[in-house]
Chain A
């Protein structure tokens, strides 16, 4: 049981920033941002390329985050002030990012096994130290994200998702807020990509496939597991974060559990999909009754 929990936590940990990012776009901005599939890879690609060129890992990591933010900002700009559907803009940006990622990497796969990274020194000393340093980094992201959501900017982003027109009428810069929101969401996805690349030992052009769907699935799962335990019919900021975290943990818990009972991987996605669909159905039912 302990090994199952460790496997679950170590896998979920690297995707926590991604879950936070998707939480921002899906729950707060009320948009399905497919850019994430590309910006996840972009973060990994930029980080891998820069560290293999000899750039210090911390600087490479920060540039990787920035690259994700720029990609997100472009997605927001593609929406032309809310006139173009965010889903379509995200898909277009994901297409563009595929080429950009190839250009950045110069090849489809960059090996990081013998390259110093942010966490390689800690992992050399012990696994515990390595994972602790990753957990600490993730915690910084969570705290920063929580602080932002509790700030005036966070409230404005929430208002943008709820009613962008009303927000504009009240004189708030909706366009700028949209750019900031999507930039932040993709910055978090890029952070996840860069951290994942360091854990798995390489950056690969295909490593982002399906990440958005996994993230949305995990968040929906987390939210609707958490809701019955709350008195209110909606999630507050802190419970949103708990839902994102518990959703991604539960996703990997189910994945690892199904693997352990020797479910043929061919049926694995079917089982996962059916479970997620069940939770999604319950979510719709809950909203209807509310």
Chain B
């Protein structure tokens, strides 16, 4: 019985893999683009949507997308990259830095456009790799906060041990010092740490700052509750967290990262430009995302935010309508 089960199971897998191979052999005339997303996250979906919308409009009928989600599993991510490689995709589009690093290590013969990613320039030049960097400098964020709240001197900066975040924290602390602000930087390593960190913030804290940090963003509700209870502003760096109850954020639209990535992809696919010859795309159009309900709950005025947004020539985006009411 057991032998029969094992034989049947092996045979099924062989047939299944054989069939899928046959399907792959039926080559389609359009270019296949493989998008690799490391974890499920709305920001990643927005980036992917921006990329797909822009490229499919620009190259109508000429491209098809294969989106693969690795669910935070590096073995699965590796298998997905190998599968895309075997499917002869014309372009790899990994989202986030570690996914881009893995793709660059495994794919040497086809172009890669890393979205929301940054790798050392030496590495980038040595690989067929073009990048769209989504980071804004923490100095820009701190300067903007200081302009909005010139009288506030003590903020808490909650961050995770993400590779991109740690260097930014030092820069933010330094920028704060230069603006006369004391930043109390508090690191979390896992999501459950966030509750203890938020509860332990000193009563003198005049505001909470979050950089573009996936882990902290996942648990933003914890910080929203704390900010609402203390009537202090929760200031973040992406629109998703503002939709979920932060007062305001200075950042870039995730969708726009995908749009910029699609422009780079077009240069590679249509104009046949080598990816490493394309300079790293920096996101220059910054937006200030506001949530009027959250501002009211955290007892913050909108006037100065609007005024400073105009002074800095940023784009004001009201995301109040997309709010999650339950956070109130």
Closest 7 CB pairs between A and B?
Answer: A201-B105, A109-B163, A260-B20, A3-B86, A7-B82, A113-B123, A114-B123
Which residues of chain B from 131 to 167 have any CB-CB distance to chain A below 8 Å in the complex?
A: 161-163, 166-167
Asked whether B78 is an interface residue with its Cβ less than 8 Å from the other chain, the reply is yes
- Chain B residues at the A interface, C-beta cutoff of 8 Å: 2-3, 6, 13-14, 16-21, 40, 68-76, 78-80, 82-83, 86, 97-98, 101-102, 104-106, 119-120, 122-123, 126-127, 161-163, 166-167, 189
Interface contact B69-A265, CB-CB below 8 Å: yes
B161, A205: Cβ atoms under 8 Å? yes
CB within 8 A of B75: which of A1, A4, A107, A214? A214
Report the separation of the CA atoms of residues A41 and B27 in the bound assembly, to the nearest whole angstrom. Answer: 40
16 pairs from A and B in contact (CB 8 Å cutoff): A1-B17, A11-B79, A108-B161, A108-B163, A113-B101, A113-B120, A113-B127, A114-B122, A114-B123, A202-B102, A209-B72, A257-B20, A260-B20, A260-B21, A268-B71, A269-B73
- The CA-CA distance from A268 to B166 in the complex, in Å, is 33
Of all chain B residues, the one with the shortest Cβ separation from A99 is B189
Contacts of A228 in B (CB 8 A): 2-3, 6
Q: Report the Cα distance A257→B15, complex, angstroms.
A: 10
B2 in complex: contacting residue of A111, A266, A282, CB < 8 Å: A282
Could you tell me how many residues of chain A have their Cβ less than 8 Å away from some Cβ of chain B? 43
Whole-angstrom distance from the CB of B22 to the nearest CB of chain A? 10
List residues of chain B with CB within 8 A of the CB of A268.
Answer: 71, 76
Report A-chain residues with C-beta under 8 Å of the C-beta of B120.
111, 113-114
In the assembly, what is the distance between CA of A223 and CA of B49, in Å? 45
A205 and B20 CA atoms in complex are apart in Å by: 35
Pairwise interchain contact B73-A3, C-beta atoms closer than 8 A: no
> Which residues 205-250 of A have a CB within 8 angstroms of B?
205-207, 209-210, 214, 225, 228
Give residues in A with beta carbon < 8 Å to B.
Answer: 1, 3-4, 7, 10-11, 98, 102, 107-109, 111-114, 199-202, 204-207, 209-210, 214, 225, 228, 252-257, 259-262, 265-266, 268-269, 282
Nearest residue, chain A, Cβ from B2:
A228
Q: A107-B166, A204-B98, A265-B71 are in contact. List 12 more A-B contacts (CB 8 A).
A: A108-B163, A112-B105, A200-B102, A204-B74, A206-B72, A207-B74, A252-B79, A256-B82, A257-B17, A260-B16, A268-B71, A268-B76
Cα–Cα, bound, A11→B104 (Å): 16
| Contact status of A11 and B75, CB under 8 A, knowing A113-B104, A113-B119 | yes
List of A residues within 8 angstroms of B163 by Cβ: 107-109, 204
The complex places the Cα of A261 from the Cα of B22 at a distance, in Å, of 11
A208 to nearest B CB, angstroms?
A: 9
| Contact among A98, A109, A202 for B105, CB-based, below 8 A | A202
Which of B74, B126, B167 is within 8 Å of A200, CB to CB? B74
CB distance from A50 to the nearest CB of B (A): 18
Q: Which residues of A contact B76 (CB under 8 A)?
A: 255, 259, 265, 268
Q: B6 contacts A225, CB within 8 Å?
A: yes
Q: Are B166 and A201 in contact (CB under 8 A)?
A: no
Smallest beta-carbon distance B7→chain A, Å: 10
CA distance A76 to B96 in the complex (A): 38
Give Cα A254 to B12, complex, Å: 11
The answer to whether A265 touches B20 (Cβ under 8 A) is no
B1 to chain A: closest CB distance in Å? 10
CA gap between A62 and B116 in the complex, in Å: 35
Please tell me if the beta carbons of A256 and B79 are within 8 angstroms of each other in the complex.
yes
- Of all chain B residues, which has the CB nearest A7? B82
Q: Report the nearest B residue to A264, measured CB to CB.
A: B69
CB distance from B180 to the nearest CB of A (A): 29
A201 touches B101 (CB 8 A): yes
Q: How far is the CA of A113 from the CA of B78 in the complex (A)?
A: 16
Judging by beta carbons under 8 Å apart, are A109 and B97 in contact? Answer: yes
* Residues of B contacting A257 in the complex (Cβ-Cβ under 8 angstroms): 13, 16-17, 20
Contacts of B166 in A (CB 8 A): 107-108
Closest chain-B Cβ to A254's Cβ sits at a distance in Å of 7
Contact present for A111 and B119 (CB under 8 Å): yes
CA distance A108 to B80 in the complex (A): 23
A199 adjacent to B105 (CB under 8 Å)? yes
* Nearest Cβ on chain A to B226's Cβ, whole angstroms: 25
Q: Which residues of B contact A10 (CB under 8 A)?
A: 82
Distance of A143 from chain B, by nearest CB (Å): 26
Chain A residues near B16: list those with CB within 8 A.
257, 260-261
| CB-based contact A254/B13 at 8 Å | yes
- Tell me which residues across on chain B come within 8 A of A265, comparing CB atoms: 68-71, 76
Q: Which residues of B contact A1 (CB under 8 A)?
A: 14, 17-18, 21
Closest to B119 in A: A111
Q: How far is the CA of A205 from the CA of B190 in the complex (A)?
A: 12
Query: Once the chains bind, are A210 and B119 in contact (CB under 8 Å)?
Result: no
B123 and A111 contact, CB distance less than 8 A: yes
In the complex formed, the residue of B with least CB distance to A15 is: B75
Contact A200 B17 (CB under 8 A): no
Complex contacts, B105 vs chain A, CB 8 Å: 112-113, 199-202
**Nearest B residue (CB) for A110:** B163
**Cβ of B97 to closest chain A Cβ, rounded Å:** 7
Chain A residues in 8 Å Cβ range of B167: 107
How many angstroms from the CA of A82 to the CA of B127 in the assembled complex? 51
Chain B contacts of A209 at CB under 8 A?
A: 72
Can you name the residue of chain A whose Cβ is closest to the Cβ of B69?
A265
A259 touching B79 by the CB < 8 A rule? yes
Please, which residues of chain B bring their CB within 8 A of the CB of A266? 40, 69, 71
Nearest-neighbour CB distance to chain B for A130, whole angstroms, equals: 11
B73/A210 in contact, CB under 8 A: yes
